[in-house]
Amino acid sequence: MAIRGIVAISTAVVVLFLLTINHGEAIWLTIPATGGTKCVSEEIQSNVVVLADYYVVDEQNPGNTPAVSAKVTSPYGNDLHHQENVTHGQFAFTTQETGNYLACFSVDSSHPLPNPLTLGIDWKTGIATKDWDSVAKKEKIEGVELQLTRLEGLVQAIRENIDYIKNREGEMREVSEATNGRVAWFSIMSLGVCLSVTGVQIWYLKRYFHKKKLI
């Protein structure tokens, strides 16, 4: 029984880890040497902390790293971060609305580069942004108690994500039902119009044939 309990706990920890691993990950973008813009986006719900570090990597010429322009916008197009001619930087904010948050990085196309530019961005959201070392020092906890505190935070984050997904599913179901209702009414109206046109055509043809004394 004890072994089964340990296996169950280990499985739960693995599941929690897999479910939360996407909340903090490094992303690599390649911007062509001729210039252009590359973006990364994530759908995030409201009241979520977002932290990110970005940096340009140029293995061909590490002593003269080219600069980029960085811009982060909210789902409604509000600027949350904007920097020009930088080789590295960071941004942090708490989301105010639910939707896709977009981070774009660009190179001036009027000054082509000798090689494609590689940019790394370490994007963290939610529980992944929490500094557990500071929490441990502040609350004076360590060892198993700290791990349990972390697991509690992970469980809370997962629960919030599940609630968010359920709400989105409900919204999409309502939209789908409303759309199906409109399509049904449109089909009925189309059928009614077709029947009306058919009736008018039959009446017109009968009248025409009567006038010509063909029937």
- Does 73 map to a domain? yes
Total of domains in the chain: 1
Q: What's the confidence (pLDDT) of residue 19?
A: 40
Residue 143 within a domain:
no
181 within domain boundaries: no
Domain for residue 111, yes or no? yes
Tens-of-pLDDT digits for all 215 residues of the chain?
Answer: 433 443 333 334 434 343 444 445 678 988 887 778 889 988 888 888 899 999 988 777 666 778 889 999 999 989 999 999 888 999 999 999 888 999 999 887 666 677 788 889 998 888 777 766 666 677 666 677 767 777 777 787 788 778 888 888 888 999 999 999 899 999 999 999 999 999 999 998 888 888 877 76
The C-alpha atoms of residue 67 and residue 5 are separated, in whole angstroms, by 54
Q: Which amino acid is at 4?
A: R
101: CB partners within 8 A, 6+ apart: 41, 42, 43, 44, 50, 72, 73, 74, 75, 80, 95
- Pull the structure tokens for residue 6: 């340990």
Could you tell me the two tokens for 27?
Answer: 């992303």
Residue ranges making up the domain that contains 29: 24-126
Q: What is the reported pLDDT for 25?
A: 63
CB-based contacts of 75, cutoff 8 Å, min separation 6: 97, 98, 99, 100, 101
Q: Is residue 91 part of a domain?
A: yes
Bridge partners of 93?
A: 50
Domain presence at residue 110: yes
* In a domain? residue 109: yes
Residue 188 DSSP code:
H
**SS3 category, 141:** coil
How is residue 22 written in tokens?
């996407």
The enclosing domain of 46 has a CATH number of: 2.60.120.380
Question: For residue 31, is it within any domain?
Answer: yes
